[in-house]
Amino acid sequence: MPKTITVEKTDADTDDRTVTATRGSSKKRKKKAVRRAVRLARLAHRTRRGMAPLYATAAQAVAGSVLAAADDGWKTALAGTVAGAATTIAWARWDGRGLVTKRHRRKKLPSRADFIAAASAVTTGGGLVTAMAATGGLQPGHSPYPALTLSWGIGHGIYWWRRNKNTAAPAPTLSEQMQLWQDNVACPDGSLPHSKLVDVVTTDYGWTAVVVLHKGNWRKAVTAAHDIAGDLDLPEEMLQVEKAIGQSARRARIAVFNRNPLQDGTDYPGPHILNKTTGQADVGIFYDGDPARYAFWKPSGPVHSVIYGATDGGKSRFLDMLLGTERHNGIVSIVCDPQGGQSLPRWREAVDWYEDTAQGGLAQLYAVRMVMYERSGRYSLMEWTDHKGRKLRGRDHFVVDDPDPLISVTIDEAHRVLALPGAVALVLEIVLMARKCGIKLRLVFQGPKANMFGAGPESTDIREQLQSGNTVMFRTASALTDSIGLPGWEVNPSQLPMYWPDGTSTAGLGYIKGPDNRQAQFRAHFDRDPAHWATTGTTPTVEKSAAAVMGKAYHERFDRLAARLRGETPVLPDDAFSEFASELEARFTPSADPIAQAAAAIEAEAPAGTDEKVAAFLAERGRPVGRVTIAQETGLTVSAVKNALTRLKKEGLAKDVDRGIWAHPDHADNEIDTTELTQAA
């Protein structure tokens, strides 16, 4: 008989099976919950811009309720409000350049409306959270906090949504941009056949890319910029093409704007724009937000400058910014405003020397010339230590504030000064020799035409020397002179608009040839309050040795200013032009007879007795000497000494023993002073 086994079902068996099933269901529910949370987080991230006001409102309600649970939660809320307000103020004043990477760099400072809205959101929101934390939280029901919180969210949300609706750029996708280029520009009958786009990137102002040409170089793309705008059906001012710096010559950089990023402009942040290590200052921004730099000096010495621009181009405000930067960085400013002081009125008493007439500007140039020779004589004998620790005598370059300050000479409407007799030769002499002595010239003109720089062949030399430094070119009035002001550049400052689409002025918009060397539009910072920088700080002045040779015109400058304020007509001293006026006027006085004019120039270059004076000096010197020393000791010009030495050599009365070193034939074998060798080099 088979054995029967009876299995009894117990409660323990049931409990075990029940526990196992419960654990499995719990894991599934947890996984589902995690997936939902991830989806919600992703949704919140995608909608973070549009839903930001709602998120902020909810965060306020939660923060107020949580902080209300603590006895001193209101203190935490108050501290957070103060910190938020301080951060908002810092955000409105700091553009982050130099402290963040280029990719994440702020393009510009916030607008006034954005700052007000942000300050309101932080202070009112923080005050609301503080009140809730101090009185028990949100308290739905009869409490006013739910309604106040909702009102806060709606009020600031309306501004937020309207702002993003107005500024949102309907930029096409990258594929659409490349397809538009292929169909309209790179097609056989397009502006740049068989070209292509690479490195296409969308920006907050449109998109940028690198154009790779099939044939030719980047200038071909720059020249075709207007045709490209037509192919893409864009306004000309909404497209920018420039050289792709550091890349193949076949590549150009293109930027297409939905709204020109330079339209808002930037405010002058203050004199700290000057980097005293490099001598360069961030004076504006390019269209992509990168800083546009201007060089005050470089290791070899100061950098001359020329500024061009038509009326309302932005020249005067640009000068306000530069003069404010100089005043607060120890640079001595000498300013001439021949328009009666109307262009730069804030600087009459804020610079070391200010003149408001063309004749006053000429007197300034004369005094600067004297400082140039005084410093040159000192520097040629100065002891200094080079980078290898060697002590040398005679320095052939200028070091800022070691021992003298940099002198910056600014002449607005410079054509009026250069029209005076002798001014052209004087300016040329300074522009060629003054850099080693720590003096820079900054001349300002309406345009780069030759007649602006005075008469005579020297005018072209002046323009070329100035343009080899900083050239700033705002909107000009003639397309014929664009290539003269920026030779070799494929840009057209005369075609810059006078007004933006909203009717505001484009003052400060232009091109700058400086350390960046970018052929791209920039806009200078706008100094809204030049009087602040002109009335604060201390006015830098020239050193005592320089002041001693600048003459009465310099020492009586404040007396003339007082006379002007009394309504009188100030008069320059009689000796303001005495040393060089006769020589230069004889050389450049207009004459209908070219033979007489040439004879006058020769006579001025070699006055009677020049050869005898130079020969007597060589014989008395007793050893080889440089041409510059001969000129300084005899009171002749360097050119006159050079010509006299050539004639004396033919007569056997002088001998050139080294480059720029001369001696009497009887003394040619004597030892040469190292100072003379340094100066001649």
Residues 493-532: pLDDT tens digits?
Answer: 888 888 888 888 889 999 999 998 888 889 999 999 999 9
C-alpha 440/C-alpha 475 separation (Å) is 24
DSSP 8-state code for residue 526: B
> Which parts of 330-479 fold into alpha helices (H)?
358-379, 414-418, 423-433, 458-467
294 pLDDT more than 90: yes
Alpha-carbon distance of 429 to 631, in angstroms, equals 14
Q: Looking at the domain covering 174-257, what would its CATH class be? A: alpha beta
Question: Given a cut of 60, is residue 195 above it in pLDDT?
Answer: yes
Q: What's 606-680's CATH class?
A: mainly alpha
Which of 88-97, 133-142, 320-329, 600-609 tops mean pLDDT? 320-329
Q: Does residue 10 register a pLDDT over 70?
A: no
* Whether the predicted pLDDT of 122 surpasses 60: yes
Q: Which has the higher per-residue pLDDT, 541 or 676?
A: 541
Provide the pLDDT confidence category of residue 365 given band limits of 50, 70 and 90: very high
**Distance set, CA 430 to CA 326, 369, 370 (Å):** 20, 6, 10
Kindly report, residue by residue over 603-626, the tens digit of the pLDDT: 444 556 788 888 888 888 888 888
The Cα–Cα gap between 67 and 76 comes to 8
pLDDT for the residue 674: 58
Mean of pLDDT values over 201-214 = 86
Question: What pLDDT, in 10s, does the model give residues 545-585?
Answer: 899 888 888 998 898 888 888 888 888 887 677 554 444 34
Helix (H) or strand (E) holding 32: helix 11-46
Q: Which of 535-549, 613-627, 664-678 shows the highest mean pLDDT? A: 535-549
Closest Cα to residue 304, out of 163, 445, 438? 438
For 278-346, give the DSSP string.
Answer: TTEEEEEEETTSPEEEEESEETTEE--EEEE--TTSSHHHHHHHHHHHHHTTT-EEEEE-TTTT-SSGG
| Choice between 104 and 541, residue whose per-residue pLDDT is larger | 541
So what's the pLDDT on residue 592? 41
Position 280 confidence tier, pLDDT thresholds 50, 70, 90:
very high
Q: Which residue has the higher pLDDT, 342 or 9?
A: 342
Residue 602 has a pLDDT of 46
Residue 362 — left, alpha, or beta (φ > 0 → left; ψ -120 to 50 → alpha)?
Answer: alpha
Q: pLDDT band at residue 264, thresholds of 50, 70 and 90?
A: confident
* Lowest-confidence segment of 94-103, 431-440, 564-573 by average pLDDT: 94-103
In 3D space, the residue among 313, 315, 239 whose CA is nearest the CA of residue 498 turns out to be 313
The pLDDT of residue 544 is above 50: yes
Residues of the chain with CATH 3.30.980: 174-257
Answer with the residue of higher pLDDT: 172 or 48. 48
Write down the mean pLDDT value for the chain: 80
Which spans in 382-438 are helix H?
414-418, 423-433
Q: Is 10 left (phi over 0), alpha (psi -120 to 50) or beta?
A: beta
Q: Residue 98 — pLDDT band, cuts 50, 70, 90?
A: very low
User: Superfamily for 276-565?
Assistant: P-loop containing nucleotide triphosphate hydrolases (3.40.50.300)
Q: Give the pLDDT band of residue 337 (cuts 50, 70, 90).
A: very high
> What stretch(es) of the chain map to CATH 1.10.10.10?
606-680
Q: Work out the percent of the chain whose per-residue pLDDT is above 90.
A: 23
261 by DSSP, 3-state: which? coil
The 8-class DSSP code of residue 348 comes to T
Please report the pLDDT score of residue 585 as a whole number.
40
What's residue 272's pLDDT? Answer: 93
- Which range, of 236-240, 310-314, 401-405, 657-661, averages the lowest pLDDT? 657-661
**Model confidence at 58: pLDDT above 90:** no
In this structure, how many other beta carbons lie within 10 angstroms of the beta carbon of residue 343?
Answer: 18
List, in order, residues 6 or more apart from 677 with CB less than 8 Å away.
626, 658, 661
pLDDT of res. 594: 43
Rounded Cα gap, residues 46 and 19, in angstroms: 41
Residue 676: the pLDDT is 56
Which tokens belong to 343?
A: 């262009």
CB atoms within 10 A of CB 505: 14
Q: Within the chain, what is the greatest distance between any pair of CA atoms? A: 158
Res 90 pLDDT > 80: no
How much is the average pLDDT of 159-175?
A: 59
Torsion of CA 310, 316, 322, 323, to 10 degrees: 150
Give the model's pLDDT for residue 603.
46
Residue 97's pLDDT is: 41
Residue 679, pLDDT above cutoff 70: no
Report the percent of the chain where pLDDT is more than 70.
85
pLDDT of residue 582: 43
- The pLDDT of residue 489: 83
Cα–Cα distance for residue pair 288/205, rounded to 1 Å = 9
Q: Is the predicted pLDDT of residue 326 greater than 60, yes or no?
A: yes
> pLDDT-based confidence at 19, cuts 50/70/90?
very low
pLDDT confidence band for 410 (50 / 70 / 90): very high
User: Which pTM value belongs to this model?
Assistant: 0.61
Q: Which residue has the higher pLDDT, 194 or 131?
A: 194
* Local confidence band at 94 (pLDDT 50, 70, 90 cut-offs): low
673 pLDDT band, cuts 50/70/90, is low
Q: Is the peptide bond before 269 cis (omega within 30 degrees of 0)?
A: no
pLDDT at 168: 42
**Portions of the chain given CATH number 3.40.50.300:** 276-565
How far from chain centre, in Å, is Cα 136? Answer: 55
